[in-house]
Amino acid sequence: MRSLLFECLGNIRQGFRTRLEEDIASARLLLHNHEKEQVREVLRSAAGMLGTWVAQNSGVPPLNGHVQDSLLSQIHAVYASTVRATIRREGEWPNLSYSHHLGYGARRLAARALEPLVEKLKIATELMEANPEYAEAKDLIQQARRVLESAFEDLLRKAQIMGQTAFRDALKLDPSLWLNCEDSTRNTAHYWFLWDLFSERVKRAKWVAHLDSEHPSGDEMLSTIFLTKWWKDDVRHWRSLEGYAHHVDALFEALPPTSIVLDDYVRFLYHIGERSLPEAFVRVADSLRRGDTQAMLRKTNTVFLLEVLLQRHVYGRPLELKRDPAIRQAVLFLLDTLVENGSSAAFRMRDDFVTPAG
């Protein structure tokens, strides 16, 4: 009987323990679910607050300013020579780029319009983070702020790239714009008056007599006075040279026949002085006759440019070369001289030039 009683008490105790454990587990599950529901409610509330803010600030504010403001400011800040150089190169120059500043202007307009909204969201999210009720939504709030800031920076980059690309292409497709700009900014007569002053000083400079020395000075000055620098390879004419090219031709004839002078003059002819040809072939030939031919042609670039200039006329305008006896003799002399200096291109040109057209 005693053993039966103990057994019954044991079974009752075990049953009670089991039910108690089940009740405890149920209570814990209920508490856990309640906590999860609380978290979800906090997240829903935070998301709702953020959604409301987005809905209230979804409009694009009006743009204040102009996309060209940055460009105009930079134009006022740089030298006039920089502006002229940029105009001659369709708005693209190392010291002044129209497309860069127009792209920056587009970025600045976008920043001015949208940055206040980004700051408002930043303040709103910081207030939400400081509220203990949204502690469980802290990650969500921070992520929303990061996403908006990242999207804002991405939008500014795209605005700048699109502005820069669109304006650069549009400017390149409107050559009349640059011609009008150059017409309105240039003072050709005044420029050549100043050029003549420098030219006269160059002719009388003491270093001119030593241009054939091992370490001559004045080469930078000659390169500048012969207008050889900063031209694009496809540029063949400069409008401000019209009616004034004879000044450069006269300077070449006045200077001693040296390799530096010849190289600068040939560069001038290659880039913007092409309209001085074919008469300029006579001046080049006369200079070579007066000087040491081999020494004057020691620069590989001089030979190459002479070959290019001759090719343009021997094959492109042969009748014009042959019509004038002085030009014809000068071209033959130049071709013979280049052949003697090992030019295979000149050898072929000479054969074609002296062979009657069949």
In this predicted structure, the answer to whether residue 269 has a pLDDT above a threshold of 80 is: yes
Whether 311 contacts 347, CB under 8 Å: no
Tens of pLDDT, residues 100-147: 887 888 888 778 877 887 788 788 778 777 778 777 767 777 777 787
pLDDT of residue 8: 43
- What secondary structure does DSSP assign to 238-270, as a single string? -GGGTTTHHHHHHHHHHS---HHHHHHHHHHHH
Confidence at 73, pLDDT banded by 50, 70, 90 = confident
| Residues 247, 135 within the same domain | no
State pLDDT tens for residues 218-236: 788 888 889 887 777 777 7
Domain shared by 194 and 343, yes or no: yes
- 154 pLDDT band, cuts 50/70/90, is confident
**Final residue of a domain: which of 183, 212, 235?**
183
Assess whether 323 and 246 both reside in one domain. Answer: yes
Taking 90 as the threshold, does the pLDDT of residue 49 lie above it?
Answer: no
Residue 89 phi, psi (nearest 5)? -115, 30
Q: What range defines the domain where residue 229 resides?
A: 187-354
Assess whether 210 and 310 both reside in one domain. yes
CA-to-CA distance for 349 and 358, rounded, in angstroms?
A: 16
Q: What percent of the chain has pLDDT over 70?
A: 77
Same domain, 85 and 140: yes
Q: Is the pLDDT score of 291 beyond 50?
A: yes
Query: What is the DSSP code (8-state) at residue 131?
Result: S
If asked whether residues 178 and 213 sit together in one domain, one would say no
Q: What residues pair up with 97 in beta bridges, in sequence order?
A: 92
Low-confidence winner among 77-81, 326-330, 351-355 (lowest mean pLDDT): 77-81
Statement: residue 24 has pLDDT above 50: no
DSSP 63: P
Max CA distance (Å), the chain: 150
Query: Quick one: tokens of 276?
Result: 């001085």
Counting the structural domains of the chain, the total is 2
What does pTM read for this prediction? 0.53
**Residues 296, 225 within the same domain:** yes
pLDDT above 90 coverage of the chain, percent = 21
Of 183, 200, 232, at which residue does a domain stop? 183
Question: Is pLDDT of 245 > 60?
Answer: yes
Is 338 in the same domain as 290?
yes
Rounded CA separation 119/236 (Å): 53
Confidence bin at 63 (pLDDT 50/70/90)? low
165 shares its domain with 231: no
What are 161-217's pLDDT values in tens digits?
887 777 777 766 666 666 666 555 557 787 888 889 888 988 888 888 888 877 777
∠ CA 180-186-189, rounded to 5°: 135
Q: What is the mean pLDDT of the chain?
A: 78
Tokens of 329: 């003799």
Does one domain contain both 121 and 226? no
229: amino acid identity, one letter: K
> Are both 211 and 151 inside the same structural domain?
no
Torsion of CA 325, 327, 331, 333, to 10 degrees: 70
* Better-predicted residue by pLDDT, 240 or 142: 240
Q: Do 154 and 191 fall within a single domain? A: no
Q: Is the pLDDT of residue 338 over 50?
A: yes
- Which of 125, 159, 183 terminates a domain? The answer is 183
